[in-house]
Amino acid sequence: MDKVFIRGLAIETLIGVFDWEREIRQRLLLDLDLGTDIRPAASGDDINCTPSYKEVADRLHEFVGGSEFQLVETLAEEVAHLLMREFRLPWIRVRVAKPGAVISAAEVGVEIERGEWR
């Protein structure tokens, strides 16, 4: 299986468990690995045969930007399910980083893998 990837996709959203976090939008950074077979797209030079970076990014800006989850864990899980369903992916890796959440760390977050790698 091949991978289409997006790194450092910055999206502002409402996220967090503390009262003050429920009143501001915070910046998240998403890294995505989308499991796919790029051979059909490559052989026909056809964008319609591979996940489009732009379509994935636009969909995530819409979904994540409009979400109000408390946990990055929940957000990562929902992003994985959404992209697997809408882009018909057999496998995905989602990394969600929350810069500035811990003062002494550059970023904290979660990384999950869903589906079956072939």
Catalytic sites, residue numbers = 98
CATH label of the domain that carries residue 109: 3.30.1130.10
Scanning the structure block, which residue is given the tokens 């589906």?
115
Residue of 79, 40, 36 whose CA lies nearest to 60: 79
pLDDT score recorded for residue 72: 97
Comparing 104 with 118, which gets the higher pLDDT? 104
Return the CA Rg of the chain: 15
Over range 40-46, report the average pLDDT: 95
Burial class (CB in 10 A: 0-12, 13-18, 19+), 35: buried
State how far the Cα of 73 lies from the Cα of 19, in Å rounded to an integer.
18
- Which tens digits make up the pLDDT trace of 8-35? 999 999 999 999 899 999 999 999 999 9
pLDDT score recorded for residue 118: 75
Tally of structural domains, the chain: 1
Percent of the chain surpassing pLDDT 70: 100
Dihedral (CA of 64, 66, 71, 77) sign: negative
* Domain range enclosing 66: 2-115
Q: What is the pTM of this model?
A: 0.95
